[in-house]
Amino acid sequence: MSYALMIHGGAGAIRAPERFAASLGRIVEAGADMLEAGAGALDVVARCVAMLEDDPLYNAGRGAVLNADGEAFCDASIMDGRTLSAGAVAGVRGPRNPVLLARLVMEKTQHVFLIGAGAERLGRQYGLAFEDESYFVTPEKRAQLARAKARHETSLDHAPTAHGKLGTVGAAALDRAGDLAAATSTGGLVNQMSGRVGDSPVIGAGVYADNASCAVSCTGVGEQFLRTSLARMAAFSVETQAMDAEAAARAAVAYLERKVQGSGGLIVVDRNARCGVAHTTPDMLFASAVDGRITIGAARR
Residue 16 scores a pLDDT above 60: yes
Other beta carbons within 10 angstroms of residue 153's beta carbon come to: 14
Question: Which pTM was predicted?
Answer: 0.94
Nearest residue to 202 via CA among 100, 76, 103, 83: 76
281 assigned to active site: no
> Are 287 and 24 a contacting pair, CB within 8 Å?
yes
The pLDDT score that the predictor gives to residue 160 is 46
Residue 164 scores a pLDDT above 70: no
Q: For 124-141, how does the pLDDT look when each residue is reduced to its tens digit (9 = 90+)?
A: 999 999 999 999 988 888
Q: For 231-260, how does the pLDDT look when each residue is reduced to its tens digit (9 = 90+)?
A: 999 999 999 999 999 999 999 999 999 999
Q: What is the mean predicted confidence (pLDDT) over 193-211?
A: 97
Nearest residue to 160 via CA among 138, 134, 190: 190
Instruction: Name which of 30-34, 99-103, 186-190 the model is least confident about.
Output: 186-190
Local confidence band at 154 (pLDDT 50, 70, 90 cut-offs):
low
Every domain of the chain and the residues it spans: 4-300
Q: For 41-68, how does the pLDDT look when each residue is reduced to its tens digit (9 = 90+)?
A: 999 999 999 999 999 999 999 999 999 9
Residue 277 scores a pLDDT above 50: yes
Out of 138, 154, 161, 168, the active site residue is 168
Local confidence band at 300 (pLDDT 50, 70, 90 cut-offs):
low
More confident residue, 7 or 189: 7
Residue 118 scores a pLDDT above 70: yes
CATH number of 4-300: 3.60.20.30
Across the chain, mean pLDDT equals 93
Residue 273 scores a pLDDT above 80: yes
Q: For 65-85, how does the pLDDT look when each residue is reduced to its tens digit (9 = 90+)?
A: 999 999 999 999 999 999 999
The three-class DSSP label of residue 59 is coil
> Are 6 and 277 a contacting pair, CB within 8 Å?
yes
Residue 200 to residue 208: CA distance in whole angstroms = 10
